[in-house]
């Protein structure tokens, strides 16, 4: 028997062993995957229920609940959304939320990018102690600053404005943002920066042309965090807003004044939920990369 014949005879069993091992591996993980699918479906039930509720008339919902659509899909209607976008208070609050969220996301990220680059690659007196101070600010609870900032805003005359809410979210978003971006920037190879300096690039040119493009995963991940925190905020908006009401305060006001106004509360709540979900799924590929920023060099 030749060596080629021996190789031909022994090759199929190897393939069969690999296939069987693959099947066993899949079957071994099947219970875990099944459990994760069940948990995921249970987690989605409230969101699905809110969506269906927003598509039902108040009478239909009060008579049988949202689950009756499984037997009568014809009950679904878009009338609630038409009324929602005809409601001036809700549409105005949605616009206000967009401005607050954009400002409260872009401003802290820009400042934190500059600070993170300085803490990572610039030598200045007290750099390490200043960074320790930034990290220490992470443990300061937001509630401690509500009354002092309320008094300060009254004295400055910026209370109940979009700018006041943007500044507050910026101030409390900066410590985490600086911490995250500094840890990511310090993992950039030092040789790249030295080569740019040898070529005559200024620090600002290095920052905008080198650091920001390389730091995109961490910046995108941070943008997701900051966007979600700012969009979903209720406590700060209730404290510093009277006429300037984000969508969360507008929904809360409707719930407080009209407890049975489900045809307005349900679609407004789902719109408030859907926009952050769209942003998250649009940037989710950067999410894990940003979370692991600086953990491995």
Question: Which phi and psi (to 5°) does residue 57 adopt?
Answer: -70, 155
Q: With bands split at pLDDT 50, 70 and 90, how would you rate the model's confidence at 291?
A: low
Mean pLDDT, range 274-288, rounded to an integer: 78
Cα–Cα distance for residue pair 7/2, rounded to 1 Å: 9
Cα–Cα distance for residue pair 221/280, rounded to 1 Å: 9
Kindly report the average pLDDT of the chain as a whole number.
Answer: 82
What are the tens digits of pLDDT across the range 214-271?
Answer: 888 888 888 888 998 999 898 898 888 778 889 888 888 776 555 567 788 888 888 8
Q: Is the pLDDT of residue 45 over 80?
A: yes
Question: Is there a contact between 97 and 135 (Cβ–Cβ < 8 Å)?
Answer: no
């Amino acid at each position: 028997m030749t060596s080629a014949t021996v190789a031909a005879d022994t090759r199929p069993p190897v393939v069969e062993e690999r296939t069987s091992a693959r099947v066993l591996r899949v079957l071994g993980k099947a219970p875990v995957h099944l459990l994760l699918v069940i948990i995921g479906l249970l987690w989605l039930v409230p969101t699905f229920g809110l969506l269906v509720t927003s598509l039902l008339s108040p009478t239909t919902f009060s008579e049988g609940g949202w689950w009756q659509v499984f037997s009568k899909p014809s009950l679904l209607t878009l009338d609630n959304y038409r009324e929602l976008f005809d409601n001036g208070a809700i549409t105005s609050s949605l616009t206000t939320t967009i401005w607050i969220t954009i400002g409260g996301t872009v401003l802290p990220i820009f400042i934190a990018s500059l600070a993170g680059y300085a803490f990572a690659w610039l030598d200045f007196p007290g750099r390490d102690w200043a960074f320790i101070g930034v990290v220490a600010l992470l443990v300061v609870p937001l509630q401690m600053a509500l009354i002092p900032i309320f008094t300060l805003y009254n004295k400055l005359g910026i209370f109940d404005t979009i700018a006041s809410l943007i500044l507050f979210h910026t101030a409390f978003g900066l410590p985490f943002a600086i911490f995250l971006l500094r840890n990511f920037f310090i993992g950039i190879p030092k040789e790249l920066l030295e080569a740019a300096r040898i070529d005559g690039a200024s620090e600002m040119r290095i920052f905008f042309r080198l650091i920001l493009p390389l730091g995109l995963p961490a910046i995108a991940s941070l943008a997701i965090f900051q966007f979600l925190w700012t969009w979903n905020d209720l406590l700060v908006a209730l404290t510093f807003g009277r006429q300037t009401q984000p969508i969360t305060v507008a929904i809360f006001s409707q719930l407080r004044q009209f407890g049975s106004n489900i045809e307005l509360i349900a679609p407004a709540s789902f719109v408030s939920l859907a926009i952050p979900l769209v942003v998250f799924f649009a940037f989710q590929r950067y999410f894990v990369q940003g979370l692991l920023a600086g953990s491995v060099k």
